[in-house]
């Protein structure tokens, strides 16, 4: 009985903290000594259950400073993840030449200016093998959400380089060299294998069904051995292939109709979903949309540059409205990327669409933070964000 009372009091206390939007401490800095490195400590059962009850990730951290060793529990403000449009780019988006399809390229462009890549940030041909072995490359995951059900329905995988001296680097700072040296395929295959293993881990924890979106380059998409290679990866991980959605650009799709459709058919035979992104709306009409939707893909992504025009251009709104209507007829899902404001979200809803991705809901997350969000269903906060 005493234990039950303690649990009730603890639960009420945590709920009050949640309602007040309090933050016990910033996980990026120790409140005692100011040290910038904090390590995670496994959560207790109570903390794990409390996170689910409160719809908020709870994590315990320890300061890594030798003379400190402080420990504390982190609980975040609801707006802490959504209020700052932090720069984000996936592999090769801004850096690759216009005539090349980027790998792991996100349509959720950075809101802030991205500094140009500098020579000291680019690795050599020899270094790339060392980077893969030391796992300095890491994958971040940005949630894709259904605003109607308020559930996370997917994640987009985004590549980063955790540089030992310069910190976290974005793709535009290191991918051009990999593309020029013809080693991009090696990086892509490493990243895809990593994502498949992570998805298999989430599947074992019953956090699936969930679609993980992975951007791939034209070189990998058209590689003759790609289907057999990725099928083997699924076999080794015991992951349901329907969990993975490979994302290609519209330009790649239209480059060679017959080869593109044949490649898509082979992927779908395996069970892998296919998404099309980087839609060009400059000369779009009903005929061009129909010709695009006749390809047997699963998802069409509307990128951030289009979203920016939607809120100010009636012409662009009418184009996307036509796309939304035809997509429903062809049974193709629409995902709107780069949602950062309530106005943008309202525009999406006015089109009758509900699947979105962007900083209004969450930034790209580390594997650990993504697990926290999935376990706690942190999107329970969306009611407040939409008011």
How many domains, in total, are found in the chain?
2
State how far the Cα of 309 lies from the Cα of 280, in Å rounded to an integer: 13
Which of 42, 57, 75 terminates a domain? The answer is: 75
| CA neighbor of 89 nearest in space, from 73, 72, 105 | 105
Q: Indicate whether 280 pLDDT > 70.
A: yes
Domain that holds residue 67: 11-75
147 and 44 in a single domain? The answer is no
Q: What is the pLDDT of residues 17-73, one digit of tens each?
A: 544 443 444 445 677 776 656 676 776 767 666 666 665 666 777 777 777 777 777
44 and 178 in a single domain? The answer is no
Helix (H/G/I), strand (E/B), else coil: 244: strand
- End-to-end distance of the chain based on CA atoms, in angstroms? 40
Is 105 part of any domain? no
If one compares 352 and 24, the residue with the highest pLDDT of the two is 352
184 and 267 in a single domain? The answer is yes
135 and 266 in a single domain? The answer is yes
Q: Indicate whether 354 pLDDT > 80.
A: yes
65 and 183 in a single domain? The answer is no
249 and 375 in a single domain? The answer is yes
Is 104 part of any domain? no
Q: What is the pLDDT of residues 355-386, one digit of tens each?
A: 999 988 888 998 888 888 887 664 444 443 44
62 and 123 in a single domain? The answer is no
**Range name among 138-152, 189-203, 302-316 with the lowest pLDDT average:** 302-316
Is 84 part of any domain? no
C-beta contacts of 44-53 below 8 A and 24+ residues apart: 46/7, 46/10, 47/73, 48/375, 50/10, 50/11, 50/14, 51/372, 51/375, 51/376, 52/375, 52/376, 52/377, 53/11, 53/14, 53/15
pLDDT of residue 13: 61
51 and 153 in a single domain? The answer is no
Q: Please report, rounded to a whole number, the percentage of residues in the chain having pLDDT higher than 90.
A: 29
40 and 142 in a single domain? The answer is no
70 and 211 in a single domain? The answer is no
272 and 353 in a single domain? The answer is yes
């Amino acid at each position: 009985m005493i234990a039950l009372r303690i649990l009730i009091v603890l639960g009420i206390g945590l709920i009050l903290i949640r309602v007040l939007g309090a933050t016990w401490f910033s996980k990026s800095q120790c409140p005692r000594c100011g040290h910038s490195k904090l390590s995670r400590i496994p959560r207790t059962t109570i903390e794990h259950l409390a996170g689910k009850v409160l719809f908020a990730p709870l994590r315990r951290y320890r300061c890594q400073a030798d003379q400190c060793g402080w420990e504390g529990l982190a609980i975040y403000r609801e707006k802490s993840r959504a209020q700052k449009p932090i720069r984000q780019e996936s592999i090769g988006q801004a850096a690759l030449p216009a005539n090349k399809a980027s790998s792991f390229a996100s349509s959720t462009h950075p809101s802030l200016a991205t500094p140009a890549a500098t020579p000291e940030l680019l690795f050599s041909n020899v270094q790339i093998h060392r980077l893969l072995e030391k796992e300095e490359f890491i994958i971040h995951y940005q949630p894709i959400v259904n605003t109607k059900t308020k559930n996370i329905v997917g994640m987009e995988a985004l590549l980063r380089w955790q540089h030992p001296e310069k910190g976290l680097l974005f793709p535009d700072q290191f991918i051009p060299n990999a593309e020029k040296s013809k080693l991009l395929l090696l990086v892509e295959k490493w990243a895809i294998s990593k994502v498949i293993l992570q998805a298999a881990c989430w599947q074992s924890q019953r956090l699936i069904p969930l679609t993980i979106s992975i951007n791939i380059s034209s070189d990998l998409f058209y590689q003759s051995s790609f289907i057999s290679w990725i099928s083997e990866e699924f076999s080794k991980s015991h992951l349901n292939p329907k969990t993975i959605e490979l994302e290609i650009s519209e330009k790649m799709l239209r480059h060679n109709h017959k080869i593109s459709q044949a490649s898509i058919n082979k992927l779908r035979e395996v069970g892998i979903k296919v998404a099309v992104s980087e839609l060009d709306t400059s000369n779009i009409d009903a005929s061009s949309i129909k010709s695009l939707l006749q390809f047997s893909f699963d998802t069409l992504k509307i990128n951030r540059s289009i979203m920016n025009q939607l809120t100010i251009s009636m012409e662009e709104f009418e184009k996307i409205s036509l796309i939304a209507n035809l997509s429903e007829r062809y049974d193709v899902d629409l995902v709107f990327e780069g949602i950062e404001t309530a106005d943008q979200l309202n525009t999406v809803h006015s089109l009758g669409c509900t699947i979105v991705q962007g900083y209004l809901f969450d930034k790209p997350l580390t594997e650990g933070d993504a697990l926290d969000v999935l376990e706690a269903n942190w999107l329970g906060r969306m009611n407040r964000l939409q008011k």
